[in-house]
Amino acid sequence: MLDFTEMTLTLLINEGATSKAALKPLITDKTSSMNNFFFTISDGKFLRIDLNQLVCGISMEDYAQLHTETGLHKPNLTLQLMKALLKEDQFIWINDRIALSRRYADSHR
């Protein structure tokens, strides 16, 4: 299984970024909380997704939607990569394709 940095690099390369060498300085700072955000390209824009602002993630085949508190994003994620990024300690997997943020669910009880 890929570690978080390799998953993010793979996602960016799949989205059309130039190379791992060019992107590595953006995401390899181990002192930051790498488990709290990741980078992707959505609607042609380079985007940082903070897991703390993510409300839910939905995936059907190779189509994904990430709903944040500020908007809807449609990155090119596979279901396998989405499951790796949205870990069960932070997200409730309602079924094998829908994940809801535990933080969001707890704050709306």
Number of domains in the chain: 1
pTM listed for this prediction: 0.64
Residues 76-102 pLDDT 10s: 788 888 888 898 999 999 998 999 999
How far apart CA 34 and CA 4 sit, in angstroms, is 8
Residues 50-62 pLDDT 10s: 888 899 999 987 7
Residues 66-77 as b/e (b if ≥16 CB within 10 A, e otherwise) read bbbeeeebebeb
Domain of 67, CATH number, reads: 2.40.50.40
Residue 14: domain span: 4-29+37-107
